[in-house]
Structure 1
Amino acid sequence: MALPSSAVGRSTDMPLQRPTLPNVQTGIVTLALVAAILLSFTIWNGYGTQQTVLYGIGFLLGYTLFHARFGFTSAFRRLLSVGQGAGLRSHMLMLAVASTLFAPILASGFSFFGNEPTASVSPVGVSLVVGALLFGIGMQLGGGCASGTLYAVGGGSSSVLFTLFGFITGSVIGAWHWDFWTNHTPSLPPFSLAENTGLGYGGALVVQLVAFAAVAWLTLWIAKKRRPPAMKPLPSADGWKRIIRGAWPLWGAAILLAVLNAATLLVRGQPWGITSAFALWGSKIASYLGIDVTQWAYWSGERGAPLEASVLADATSVMNFGIILGAMLASAASGAFVLRKLRGKVVTASLIGGLIMGYGARLAYGCNIGAFFSGIASFSLHGWVWVIMALIGTYIGLLFRPWFGLSNPKPDDSVC
């Protein structure tokens, strides 16, 4: 099966008309606000200020992700299918801002709650390569990455509920197999561009900024060669109302996501991550069903402590809950919260994609957020390896999408 031809595409010379913005879904807005406030009070009352602040950051992340429809899956798909690199350029902007903010935080060791900030730096080995490759395939079948899955759930996407179920299940299986992949396959030690090269954080920042600029330039060069279709405009209000209703520009969301990730590092002492919570949720369920997950190497030592505590005591979990509710509020305010009837093939693809992503994320020390975004912002080599392998996996995933009735962008589309 071949991908769509890279023959010269059709560019849009006239400005594309922005679709009409639907009415506010008042009932869903009320439900999202009430749920968000109640959960916030529960977290603050039982787990303190730090955990509540992290929940609030998660809420803002979800709100931002949905408003901009900021995705990794679609950005990779558009780039490889038709050469549309606007999404990847927004990633480079996000990484540039995040790296600039992370560098002084990590260099100084400053944080708000006394936890010394720790960079997200992981080994580079077979586990990472296989996991990232699988994650790239799974993204294209599951209809979203880790962050995309959460904000799509909050936005009312029916199919992504199956992706989330598969994601959690795959994460548990990955935790079960974690010892083999991380301890019994070839691997190099963690490598920081700042601390293992003698460059320091200032020098590493310069190197990464040059790399981000080079990637952005490459996407423009590809676009010049392939003439991709224009990005479809999303419904949006005008003026200040756009903050509440409708689409945000990708560049604005990229900057805000970088700032919020830096805030996470300052508050939590660790950068933003998502998928470790899926492994925790699924393992708790497995324990309830009689499976002794404490015997797995993944849950040995300090990592096993969350199994005995409430999920509200887990920072990643409360941020994930915040993402879902923040996206729910944003989608309802824009009139976009809609549950749709699903086709069997789409459900199957969502389950398979979620399983592959969950498994891959455990092998690769994270997902598009924990490994790609936070890894590169932390100056870790593993983040760069992750994105290369995820792009290769994306190409493979695009070949499988038509098997499940899922379409890929084509060069002669008027928009993509």
Structure 2
Amino acid sequence: MPASTLTATPSSPLARQPLALSVAAASLAAFFIYLMDSYSTHNGLVMLLGAALGISLYHASFGFTTAWRTLVTTGRGRAVRAQMLMLAIAVCLFFPALAAGELFGQQVFGFVRPLSVSVIFGAFIFGIGMQIANGCASGNLYHAGGGQIRAIPSMIGFAAGALWATRDYEWWTTQPSLAPVDLIGSLGVVPAIALNLLVFAAIAQLTRVIEKRKFGSVEADDAGKDQPLSKRLLSGPWPFIWGAIALAVLNFATLALIGRPWAVALAYPLWGAKAAEALNLGLDVDFWGYWMMPGRDTALMGGVLEDSASLMNIGVIFGAVVAAALAGRLSLSWKMPVMQWLATIIGGLMLGYGATIAFGCNIGAFFGGIASGSLHGWLWLVAAFAGSFVGTWLRPLFRLPRT
């Protein structure tokens, strides 16, 4: 894909794009100071936490879309095993804190949601959308930060789909549903952790079996192994395992700072509503049931920079810009075939609609749900993986490679 002249060669030294890095770091610092001065230190710290997540996502190229597609099409499961490690670390950190109800003096709660038709359908179309759009909720953010402009129409579609879903949200709440299942409360902390660890290990082992049968060996997770440790940390690439550890610890930091797990999709309905208001579309979103729920009404009345989910998403983009400049790969890539532009918009709509009715995306529902001990996180995973399988085989319709 064509890129601007900002692109640097992989062999150039650390701080490979010094001008871009300086501008990115200065912008991040200026935005942090602005948030502290105009809002609060807390808002600034939330944004910086998002930036740390963005750096981790970019340096590890840690995503869900490619990981799942690679397992389906080639049998390679290295990235999926890293996801299982991430979840294993997360449950060991989260479960005791959630059982206690507080962390470092901060009241905390998890994402425990019903086992509903909306989770199944929403996660399924989210899975299709992530393959068509070539990115999930977190993936689009760090891709955009790295200069992949193709992520922007997907994000616009995500916001539009999420807003559409808020219009239908009350109807989805009337569909068949089972009560939420909280494994921490039902089993106790230690048994719940043990059960989850067994499932993670089983999934990881299954990927190993598939990979060994197909290739005779398991692929090593050794990205950047020839680089000095300090250079790998600052400019990447990171092994998937590093990304898994970083994301689990930073999600735990999110729990401590905000009181809830990391959530990406929560911001998109608000962005869609604010855009509709700015464009004078005449939508009475204030009277839609979704926005009458506690917390969401406050978010709608406030500004985007008062919303924790929005601040973290913006931080992820900033962090990815800094990481891309450190790696010497910051470039602006915008040219792609018309069919792929169409795919990003359609896929984005599916991502936004699906995430909103399924109580979250790959971060809030899958990562956050399982880390919260909620059974709906596992239901989301099964439905989304099925959708991802379908989406993988639909990719050629949009002239996208299946692998």
TM-score band by shorter chain is over 0.9
Question: Which segment drifts farther, 343-352 or 322-331?
Answer: 343-352
Q: Which amino acid aligns with 1:80?
A: V
2:137 to 140, 146, 151: 146
Please say if residues 111 and 117 of structure 1, whose CA atoms lie closer than 8 Å, have aligned partners that are also in contact.
yes
CA distance in 2, matches of 1:139, 1:385: 17
Aligned length in residues? 387
Aligned pair 1:49/2:65, yes or no?
Answer: no
Which amino acid in 1 is paired with 2:206? L
Corresponding residue for residue 225 of structure 1: 213
Structure 2's unaligned 5+ residue stretches are 1-8
Displacement of 1:83? 1.1
Instruction: Judge conservation of contact 2:99–2:184 (CA < 8 Å) in 1.
Output: no
Q: Which amino acid aligns with 2:73?
A: S
**Whole-angstrom distance in 2 between the partners of 1:343 and 1:28:** 28
Residue by residue over 1:342-363, the C-alpha shift from the partner in whole angstroms, topping out at 9 and shown as x without a partner, is: 2111111111111100100001
Contact 1:276–1:366 (Cα < 8 Å) also in 2? yes
Q: Pick from 384, 400, 403 the counterpart of residue 406 of structure 1.
A: 400
Q: Percent identity?
A: 41
Q: Which residue of 2 aligns with 1:324?
A: 317
Shift of 1:408: 2.0
Counterpart code for 1:338: S
- After superposition, what is the alpha-carbon deviation per residue over 1:131-159, rounded to whole angstroms, capped at 9, x for unaligned? 00000000001111000010001010121
Task: Answer whether contact 2:170 2:289 (CA < 8 A) is retained.
Answer: yes
Q: Once the 2 structures are TM-superposed, how far is the Cα of residue 74 of structure 1 from its aligned partner?
A: 0.5
TM-score (norm 2): 0.92
Residue 314 of structure 1 and its aligned partner are, at CA, apart by 0.6
Offset, 1:332: 1.2
- Structure 1 residue ranges (4+ consecutive) displaced by more than 4 angstroms after TM superposition: 228-237
What does residue range 209-248 of structure 1 map to in structure 2 within 5 Å?
209-227=197-215, 237-248=227-238
Contact 1:21 1:335 in 2 (8 A): no
What residue number does 2:368 align with? 374
Q: Is the CA contact 1:22–1:336 (under 8 Å) kept in the aligned structure 2?
A: no
Structure 2: how far apart are the matches of 1:267 and 1:153?
25
**Structure 1 stretches lacking a partner, 5+ long:** 1-18, 410-416
Structure 2 CA distance, aligned partners of 1:252 and 1:144? Answer: 21
Contact 2:39 2:306 in 1 (8 A): yes
Decide whether the 8 Å contact of 1:95 with 1:373 is kept in 2: yes
One-letter amino acid of the counterpart of residue 298, structure 2: A
State the 1:207 CA deviation. 0.6
Say if 2:221 and 2:239, in contact at 8 Å, map to a contact too: no
Whether 1:89 and 2:81 are equivalent positions in the alignment is yes
Task: Verify: 1:252 aligned to 2:242, yes or no.
Answer: yes
Task: Please say if 1:74 is aligned against 2:50.
Answer: no
- Report what 2:124 is aligned to: 133
Q: 1:158 to 1:22 in 2, by over 3 A?
A: farther
- In the alignment, structure 1 residue 311 sits paired with structure 2 residue 301: no
* Cα distance in structure 2, aligned partners of 1:179 and 1:186: 13
Secondary structure at the aligned position of 2:92 is classed as helix
TM-score by length of 1: 0.89
Distance in 2 separating the partners of 1:376 and 1:37: 34
On the 8 A contact 1:68/1:247 being kept in 2, the answer is yes
Q: Counterpart of 2:242 in structure 1: which amino acid?
A: G
C-alpha displacement at 1:49, in angstroms?
2.4
User: What displacement does 1:322 show?
Assistant: 0.6
The answer to whether residue 178 in structure 2 is matched with residue 188 in structure 1 is yes
Q: Does 1:361 align with 2:355?
A: yes
CA distance in 2, matches of 1:399, 1:307: 38
Shift of 1:237: 4.3
- In the aligned structure 2, how far is the partner of 1:243 from the partner of 1:351? 34
Contact 1:131–1:360 (Cα < 8 Å) also in 2: yes
1:295 lines up with 2:283 in the alignment:
no
Structure 1 residue 121 displacement after superposition: 0.8
Q: Match for residue 383 of structure 1?
A: 377
RMSD across aligned positions (CA): 1.8
State the Cα deviation string for residues 293-352 of structure 1 (Å, max 9, x = none). Answer: 001100004211111211111111111111000001001111111222221111111111
The aligned counterpart of 2:92 is 100
The equivalent of 1:121 in structure 2 is: 112
**2:163 pairs with one of 163, 172, 176:** 172
